[in-house]
Amino acid sequence: MTAKTPVIPSARLIEVFSAIQGEGHNVGTRQIFIRFALCDLRCHFCDSAHTWHVPKTCRIEQTPGLRDFEIYSNPVPLPILLESIKQQNLPALHDSISITGGEPLLHAAFLVEFLPQLRSVTGLPVYLETGGHRPEELAMILPHLNSVGMDFKLPSVSGESRWQEHTKFLQLCYDSQIEIFVKIIVSNKTDLADLERSANVIAEINPSIKVFLQPVTPLESTENPTQEIIVAPSPEQVLSWQELMKRTIKDVRVIPQTHKMLNQL
Ligand code: SF4
Domains of the chain and CATH, by start? 11-261 (3.20.20.70)
Backbone angles phi, psi at 134, to 5 degrees: -130, 70
Is pLDDT of 222 > 60? no
Phi, psi of 169 (to 5 degrees): -60, -50
Whole-number Å distance between alpha carbons of 107 and 37: 9
User: Residue 199 Cα, ligand 1 centroid: separation in angstroms?
Assistant: 21
- Spatial contact of 100 and 73, defined as CB atoms under 8 Å apart: no
Q: DSSP state, 75?
A: S
Mutate to test the pocket of ligand 1, among 14, 51, 105, 224 (most ligand atoms within 8 A of CB): 51
Q: Which pLDDT value is given to residue 134?
A: 98
Mean pLDDT, residues 2-13: 86
Task: Check residues 192 and 2 and name the one with the higher pLDDT.
Answer: 192
Residue of the CA atom closest to atom 8 of ligand 1: 46
Q: Which pLDDT band, with edges at 50, 70 and 90, does 29 fall under?
A: very high
d(CA 20, CA 259): 7
Mean pLDDT, the chain, whole residue set: 94
Which atom of ligand 1 is nearest the CA belonging to 102?
3
Of all protein residues, the one whose alpha carbon is nearest to atom 2 of ligand 1 is: 102
Ligand 1 atom with least separation from CA of 131: 1
Distance 48 CA to ligand 1 centre (A): 7
The pLDDT tens digits for 40-72 are 999 999 988 999 999 999 999 999 999 999 999
CA of 2 to the centre of ligand 1 (A): 44
Q: How far is the CA of 95 from the centre of ligand 1 (A)?
A: 24
- Averaged pLDDT for residues 65-93: 97
Query: Relative to the CA of 40, which ligand 1 atom is closest?
Result: 4
DSSP state of 28: T
**CA–CA gap between residue 199 and residue 155 (Å, rounded):** 14
Overall average pLDDT of the 171-178 stretch: 96
Q: SS3 for 111?
A: helix
Which helix (H) or strand (E) segment holds residue 204: the answer is helix 192-205
3-state SS assignment for residue 115: helix
User: By percentage, how much of the chain surpasses pLDDT 90?
Assistant: 86
Q: Give the integer Cα–Cα distance in Å for 206 and 221.
A: 38
DSSP-assigned letter for residue 260: H
- Ligand 1, residues at Cβ distance < 6 Å: 39, 41-43, 46, 48, 51, 101-103, 131
pLDDT band per the 50, 70, 90 thresholds, residue 226: low
CA 160 to ligand 1: nearest atom: 6
Read off the DSSP letter of residue 54: -
Give the side-chain half-sphere CA count within 13 A for 198: 34
